[in-house]
């Protein structure tokens, strides 16, 4: 397939971003349809790329700076590209039919998509940073303009954390290129072959950890997340939680594990500890929340902790689990926020003490609550749903390397059931308030995005290969440690989806168990 298809993945949202504000009239439904059309087109192109992998695209851009338009797809980026396209479409369709200032809103949504998509497609570190930074502007504006009552504070905090994240990432990438003894070069191939002193590697990894850790986020870099998730409009938070935050995970896997394997392996106990801490901290805080959105934010933080644990372990299985967790969490968190958005649109609140009896079959929101229950079950890792295979792979892949951190994370994962049951018990059951329950039931057109996600969450649970198959070859090649008995007894035989892996480094440090 021609490399122009890769360009098309960027041109479609770019066209939407530029053209939507120029549309005559501001009928929200029409603007939403056009934005959805662009996202759907992007998803379609992504699926075509999946059927037949396109060749990489190389176009010189600013050669003197080492910046080239290098785009490509591999087993890591392809599933994330599809996830981003899907979630953008679903998020756009989740916007209300009476969305205020629709042209600007959907234009910024597509701009966000453009940034995330660009980062996932980039095969050049500077291009990656550029796209990474691009995401910050539209998302900040989306929060600042359409957020809830504390939107200004949320937007400023998001911007500040994002700016620090972007700057540290830029510094890390520039250092990577400049300190490379083999010469200046920011292409991923250059970085994979880079010759860096151990000290330089440590500094660069520290910067990358700060940059990506802020984006994920992970404790103690999560300060922006609860407030932003609590204040951002539903479609935005779906995109933030489902796709944008995955930039951090992707970056850690691509840059940290892939390009700095020795330093990553040396630091991995600390990284695993941070993952376990995030998992516990997120879960415990989720239990204490009285607002559904904040609860979801902390829940997301906890699940990102599991992801970081898997990345730290860096076994073939754990890395596969990490990719599966990225995909599963993307779907689940988007579904959770889609349901919360529907609840908020009808009841006018996400405050847990103010909500009860929503499962009432006649005056409640039973369908929405049903989907919410399913999403919560998926988040809790109930078998048959997307969260289960992902968490199983994470735990199985990590416990041989970091048994204590894995055990702590496992317990933290169990807390998911605690806040899920607590939330559902309070919001779903109990007495529906006569004085408040005058809202209409949700329409099928409103439910459709969440319903689509629900089907995918179920589908991925019943057919876990949908989560793991994409990246099997790539993650195997990225693995820093082997996992003898699991791997030997059940060799992974599924054919690689895409091109050759980016890095061939797979040296387990002698000091660490293998």
Partner 1 sequence: MTTPIAPVAEPTTTPLIPPSQHRWAEVIHRLEAGGSMLPDTPENLMQIIGIYKAYAVPMDFYWRDLLYIAEQVFLDPLPAFKYFPSQEYLDLPNSYAGDQSQLRIWRGGEKAHPELLEFMAKGETTQMPKLLHHLWHDRINMEFAEACMQAMLWHQNMGGRFNDYLASDAYRNNADRAIKAYFKRNPVMLGLYKLFPEMFLEKVKQLSYTANLGLFWEVMAPVFFEMSDIYDEGGFKGVPDAMDFLVNGIFAVAGRPIYHHAFIDGECFEIIPKSEGFTWLYEAALPYVEAVFYRTSPFRGTKSYNAQAGQVPADQADFHYGILYADVFPVGSAGIPPTLLMQDMLHFLPSYLKELYRKHERGEEDQLIQLGVTFQRSMYNVTSAVIQALRAALLYPLDDTDPEHLLANRRFFEAQMDRFLRPEARLGAIQSQDYR
User: Which residues would be at the binding site for partner 1 (CB under 8 A)?
Assistant: 357, 360-363, 431-434, 437-438, 440-441
Choice between 51 and 438, CB closer to partner 1? 438
Question: Beta partners for 187?
Answer: 124
Rounded to the nearest whole angstrom, what is the least distance from the CB of residue 440 to partner 1 in the complex? 6
Choice between 51 and 431, CB closer to partner 1? 431
Tokens of 77: 């980026």
Choice between 368 and 409, CB closer to partner 1? 368
Rounded to the nearest whole angstrom, what is the least distance from the CB of residue 343 to partner 1 in the complex? 16
Radius of gyration (C-alpha) of the chain in whole angstroms = 22
Query: 3-state DSSP call for residue 129?
Result: helix
Rounded to the nearest whole angstrom, what is the least distance from the CB of residue 361 to partner 1 in the complex? 6
- Cβ count near 500 (within 10 Å): 11
Rounded to the nearest whole angstrom, what is the least distance from the CB of residue 362 to partner 1 in the complex? 4
Choice between 25 and 361, CB closer to partner 1? 361
Q: Are 379 and 303 in contact (CB under 8 A)?
A: yes
Give me the helix-helix angle, 316-347 and 444-462, nearest 10°.
160
Choice between 52 and 434, CB closer to partner 1? 434
Rounded to the nearest whole angstrom, what is the least distance from the CB of residue 364 to partner 1 in the complex? 9
Of 116, 39, 99, nearest to 452 by C-alpha is 39
How far is the C-alpha of 22 from the C-alpha of 291, rounded, in Å?
Answer: 38
Rounded to the nearest whole angstrom, what is the least distance from the CB of residue 347 to partner 1 in the complex? 14
Rounded to the nearest whole angstrom, what is the least distance from the CB of residue 423 to partner 1 in the complex? 19
* Helix ranges (DSSP H) in 179-260: 188-192, 198-215, 225-231, 234-239, 246-251, 258-259
* DSSP per residue, 61-82: EEGGGTEEEEE---TTHHHHHH
Choice between 138 and 357, CB closer to partner 1? 357
Phi, psi of 129 (to 5 degrees): -65, -40
Choice between 187 and 428, CB closer to partner 1? 428
Choice between 350 and 442, CB closer to partner 1? 442
Choice between 61 and 439, CB closer to partner 1? 439
Rounded to the nearest whole angstrom, what is the least distance from the CB of residue 359 to partner 1 in the complex? 9
Phi-psi bin for 66: left (phi > 0), alpha (psi -120 to 50), beta? Answer: left
Choice between 349 and 360, CB closer to partner 1? 360
Of 78, 93, 79, nearest to 40 by C-alpha is 93
Rounded to the nearest whole angstrom, what is the least distance from the CB of residue 449 to partner 1 in the complex? 22
Residues contacting residue 439 through CB under 8 Å, at least 6 positions apart: 346, 347, 365
Phi-psi bin for 357: left (phi > 0), alpha (psi -120 to 50), beta? Answer: left
Choice between 148 and 345, CB closer to partner 1? 345
Rounded to the nearest whole angstrom, what is the least distance from the CB of residue 436 to partner 1 in the complex? 10
Rounded to the nearest whole angstrom, what is the least distance from the CB of residue 374 to partner 1 in the complex? 21
Q: Are 314 and 405 in contact (CB under 8 A)?
A: no
Choice between 262 and 354, CB closer to partner 1? 354
Residues contacting residue 85 through CB under 8 Å, at least 6 positions apart: 9, 39, 42, 43, 46, 113, 117
SS3 annotation, 406-469: HHHHHHHHHHHHHHHHHHHHHHHCCCCCCCCCCCCCCCHHHHHHHHHHHHHHHHHHHCCHHHHH
Rounded to the nearest whole angstrom, what is the least distance from the CB of residue 430 to partner 1 in the complex? 9
How far is the C-alpha of 17 from the C-alpha of 110, rounded, in Å?
Answer: 6
DSSP H or E segment with residue 327:
helix 316-347
Choice between 315 and 356, CB closer to partner 1? 356
Phi, psi of 185 (to 5 degrees): 180, 135
Rounded to the nearest whole angstrom, what is the least distance from the CB of residue 337 to partner 1 in the complex? 25
> Exposed e or buried b for every residue in 442-461, given b needs 16+ CB within 10 A?
beeebbebbebbbebbeebb
Cis ω before 77 (30° cut-off from 0): no
Q: Are 69 and 57 in contact (CB under 8 A)?
A: yes
């Amino acid at each position: 397939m021609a490399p122009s298809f890769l360009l098309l993945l960027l041109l479609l949202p770019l066209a939407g971003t530029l053209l939507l504000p120029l549309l005559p009239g501001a009928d929200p439904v029409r603007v939403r349809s056009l934005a959805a059309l662009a996202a759907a087109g992007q998803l379609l192109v992504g699926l075509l790329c999946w059927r037949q992998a396109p060749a990489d695209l190389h176009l010189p851009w600013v050669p003197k700076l080492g910046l080239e338009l290098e785009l490509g797809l591999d087993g890591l980026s392809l599933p994330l590209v599809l996830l981003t396209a899907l979630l953008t479409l679903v998020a756009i369709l989740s916007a209300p039919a009476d969305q205020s200032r629709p042209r600007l809103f959907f234009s910024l949504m597509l701009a966000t998509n453009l940034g995330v998509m660009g980062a996932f497609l980039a095969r050049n570190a500077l291009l990656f940073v550029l796209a990474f930074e691009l995401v910050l502007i539209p998302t900040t504006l989306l929060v600042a303009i359409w957020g809830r009552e504390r939107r200004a504070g949320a937007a400023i905090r998001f911007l500040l954390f994002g700016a620090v994240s972007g700057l540290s990432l830029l510094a890390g990438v520039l250092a990577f290129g400049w300190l490379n003894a083999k010469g200046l070069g920011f292409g991923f191939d250059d970085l994979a072959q880079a010759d860096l002193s151990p000290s330089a590697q440590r500094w660069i990894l520290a910067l990358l950890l700060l940059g990506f850790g802020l984006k994920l986020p992970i404790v103690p870099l999560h300060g922006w997340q609860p407030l932003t998730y609590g204040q951002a409009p539903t479609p935005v938070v779906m995109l933030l939680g489902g796709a944008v935050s995955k930039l951090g995970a992707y970056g850690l896997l691509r840059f940290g594990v892939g390009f700095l394997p020795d330093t990553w392996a040396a630091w991995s106990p600390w990284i695993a500890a941070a993952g376990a801490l995030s998992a516990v901290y997120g879960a415990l805080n989720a239990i204490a929340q009285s607002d559904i959105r904040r609860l979801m934010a902390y829940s997301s933080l906890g699940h990102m902790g599991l992801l970081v644990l898997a990345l730290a372990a860096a076994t073939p299985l754990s890395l596969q689990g990490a990719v599966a967790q990225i995909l599963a969490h993307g779907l689940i968190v988007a579904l959770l926020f889609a349901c919360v958005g529907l609840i908020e649109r009808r009841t006018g609140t996400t405050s847990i003490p103010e909500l009860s009896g929503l499962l009432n079959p006649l005056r409640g929101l039973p369908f929405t609550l049903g989907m919410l229950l399913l999403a919560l079950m998926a988040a809790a890792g109930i078998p048959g749903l997307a969260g289960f295979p992902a968490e199983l792979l994470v735990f199985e892949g990590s416990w041989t390397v970091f048994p204590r951190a894995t055990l702590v994370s496992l317990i933290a994962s169990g807390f998911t059931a605690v806040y899920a049951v607590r939330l559902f018990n309070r919001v779903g059951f109990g007495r529906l308030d006569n004085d408040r329950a005058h809202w209409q039931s949700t329409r099928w057109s409103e439910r459709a995005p969440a319903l689509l996600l629900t089907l995918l969450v179920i589908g991925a649970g019943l057919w876990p290969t949908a989560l793991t198959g994409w990246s099997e070859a790539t993650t195997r090649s990225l693995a820093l440690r082997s996992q003898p008995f699991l791997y030997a007894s059940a060799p992974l035989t599924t054919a690689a989806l895409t091109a050759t892996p980016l890095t061939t480094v797979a040296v387990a440090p002698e000091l660490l168990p293998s």
